[in-house]
Structure 1
């Protein structure tokens, strides 16, 4: 069993690049539609079968196909991550270097996720594809930094840790968040804000 423990903390930055979250939404919608179709077909087959042994076999086949679907979707999400990273890197190259502003250093209201940090923590846990994390170590860690933009979207998600696969899955999970943040503000005006999200994954194989 793999257990994810998350500690949240935040710090501020003046960086501001647009989020390409649509890439991840399209991938997830596509594979969710296929899951729905597969579920309906397996349910028809399961309901029509009267033999208990064959019902068990159908259920096993269904679980196998769903697990394969998760793996295929993860490959597509990795592709989306690479495309988004390239777009953000290009935007960074085009952007004129700016000095850190006073409002970015000292916002009067920090950015906040709907439902608070506990909701953010739970959604990251739910979105993390732990089967895509490979490690010989029992405990692995990463620090995920991301920008909350003025419109509440996120960008520049970068995870830094010793395990590349954990870093990658953490980045995908953050880009896949369903909701926008309430942006940070200074004198009533929205401003960019940086969160730092330390993650620790404890892997207990049984």
Structure 2
């Protein structure tokens, strides 16, 4: 079982794709959150009506098993959503590349008046990614697994083009899903008073004991 996630954010400037929302992920999460809420209510009613201690313990075990299965089903849905989003972004990247003028260039860090930032800062971002990371999908073959997660903060503060680079495929995939599930938008980077697209690199490591 993973004990701790460690994150460090580095950045490099860049002008990238059109903004991609993560509505698909938020919609899927809302659906499963509702299912979890309903299951919790039903099990609580059953638990409260039961007087026998052993039966109460049995209900708690059943509840735990149901939630574990639901988490796994939810993750399967997220994987499908990730594939859909990545395919769409790849198609848009090709279209953007073909239509971009040859003279187009990316802004450099020195040109920025304001860097992109996550609401509440680094610690909040780290906690939210950690909470959203589905570690049960990882079968560790080493004590520490690492990846670099690249993503774009768009002009409207949403993120897109999330890509994790590391040796563990399942770890990379879960890192990408967690990033797309972030509940808040970034404040975008600014050059000369105008919002610009900006790319981040997020080194990530998980310790398995």
TM range (shorter): over 0.9
Kindly indicate whether residue 66 of structure 2 is the aligned counterpart of residue 65 of structure 1: yes
Q: Which residue of 2 aligns with 1:32?
A: 33
Q: Distance in 1 between matches of 2:151 and 2:204?
A: 13
User: Pairwise mapping of residues 25-104 of structure 1 onto structure 2 (< 5 A)?
Assistant: 25-95=26-96, 96-97=99-100, 99-102=104-107
Kindly indicate whether residue 179 of structure 2 is the aligned counterpart of residue 179 of structure 1: no
Q: Alignment partner for residue 115 of structure 1, among 120, 126, 140?
A: 120
Q: Which stretch of structure 1 is more off in the superposition, 93-102 or 182-191?
A: 93-102
Per the normalisation by structure 1, the TM-score is 0.95
The alignment of Structure 1 onto Structure 2 pairs a total of residues equal to: 204
Q: Which residue of 1 aligns with 2:157?
A: 152
Q: Which residue of 2 aligns with 1:9?
A: 10
Cα distance, 1:75 vs. partner? 0.2
Q: Distance in 1 between matches of 2:95 and 2:17?
A: 12
Greater than 6 Å deviation, 4+ residue runs: none
Kindly indicate whether residue 167 of structure 2 is the aligned counterpart of residue 169 of structure 1: no
Question: SS at the partner of 2:13?
Answer: coil
Contact 2:5 2:130 in 1 (8 A): yes
Cα distance, 1:20 vs. partner? 3.5
- Kindly tell me: are residues 16 and 106 of structure 1, through their superposed partners in 2, closer, same or farther at Cα, counting changes over 3 Å? farther
Kindly indicate whether residue 103 of structure 2 is the aligned counterpart of residue 128 of structure 1: no
Q: Which stretch of structure 1 is more off in the superposition, 135-144 or 90-99?
A: 90-99
Unaligned runs of 5+ in 2: none
Q: Distance in 2 between matches of 1:115 and 1:181?
A: 10
Q: Distance in 2 between matches of 1:169 and 1:30?
A: 19
Cα distance, 1:189 vs. partner? 0.6
Contact 1:13 1:105 in 2 (8 A): no
Contact 2:15 2:107 in 1 (8 A): no
- Kindly tell me: are residues 124 and 169 of structure 1, through their superposed partners in 2, closer, same or farther at Cα, counting changes over 3 Å? same
Unaligned runs of 5+ in 1: none
Deviation readout 1:129-168 (Å, 9 max, x if unpaired): 1111222111110000000001111100000000000000
Cα distance, 1:105 vs. partner? 6.4
Contact 1:143 1:160 in 2 (8 A): yes
Q: Distance in 2 between matches of 1:19 and 1:126?
A: 23
Question: SS at the partner of 1:147?
Answer: strand
- Kindly tell me: are residues 198 and 103 of structure 1, through their superposed partners in 2, closer, same or farther at Cα, counting changes over 3 Å? closer
Alignment RMSD: 1.3
